């Protein structure tokens, strides 16, 4: 991107996830698929593999903030130039169980009715769900909804950290 300093933090599955995209000045990605969300994982930070423990959304956001902070450095490439930052979270993808999320967040939805969700119908090409046309048992479906709501809450909380960055 001519004239822009560019960064990609998070999901990038347009092939070659094990390499930094050629158009990025800064990169923090998931080279080995998404997997569980709160387990040790080996990330690709620029051109080096880094193993970190903890929440993937938090790591993605931390690196987005590191990129933004680096723009203030007089030694930063493209200092003073406009920038483009792409942040791609993966937490709304499988696995779908509550056990993959912070109990304090899933606890927010234990009593939810989920009345705003239409009836579940498995997609004919389902891979990470039950078989095509199958409907999971009610408790499994409820667990999935709690987890999804928790995932969206996690994204909301992390996105809120980005604009809150001190100027």
For the stretch 58-102, pLDDT in tens is: 999 999 999 998 887 777 666 677 889 999 999 887 766 777 788
Asked if the model's pLDDT at residue 2 lies above 80, the reply is: no
In whole numbers, what is the pLDDT of the chain averaged over residues?
A: 83
Per-residue pLDDT band for 165 (boundaries 50, 70, 90) equals low
- What is the predicted pLDDT for the residue at 127? 58
Distance CA 151, CA 87 (A): 15
Per the DSSP assignment, residues forming a β-bridge with 50 are 43
Question: Residue 110 in 3-state DSSP?
Answer: coil
Taking each continuous run of H as one helix and of E as one strand, the counts in the chain are 3, 5
- What is the predicted pLDDT for the residue at 78? 61
Cβ–Cβ < 8 Å for 46, 27 = yes
Asked if the model's pLDDT at residue 152 lies above 80, the reply is: yes
User: pTM of the entire structure?
Assistant: 0.85
- What is the predicted pLDDT for the residue at 164? 63
Distance CA 81, CA 47 (A): 23
Distance CA 30, CA 42 (A): 7
Per the DSSP assignment, residues forming a β-bridge with 41 are 52
Phi then psi dihedrals of residue 27, to 5 deg: -145, 135
Cβ–Cβ < 8 Å for 52, 58 = no
Distance CA 95, CA 101 (A): 10
């Amino acid at each position: 991107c001519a004239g822009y300093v560019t960064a990609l933090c998070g999901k990038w599955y347009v092939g070659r996830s094990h390499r930094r995209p050629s158009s990025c000045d800064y990169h923090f990605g998931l080279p080995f698929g998404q997997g569980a969300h709160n387990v040790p994982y080996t990330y690709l930070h620029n051109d080096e593999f880094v193993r970190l423990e903890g929440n993937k959304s938090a790591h993605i956001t931390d690196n987005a903030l590191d990129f933004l902070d680096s723009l203030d450095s007089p030694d930063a490439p493209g200092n003073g130039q406009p920038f483009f930052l792409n942040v791609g979270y993966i937490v709304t993808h499988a696995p779908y169980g509550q056990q993959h999320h912070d109990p304090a967040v899933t606890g927010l939805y234990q009593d939810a009715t989920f009345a705003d969700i239409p009836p579940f119908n498995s997609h004919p090409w389902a891979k990470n769900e039950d078989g095509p046309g199958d409907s999971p048992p009610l408790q499994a479906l409820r667990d999935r909804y709690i987890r999804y709501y928790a995932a969206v809450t996690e994204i909301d909380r992390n996105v809120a950290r980005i604009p809150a960055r001190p100027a």
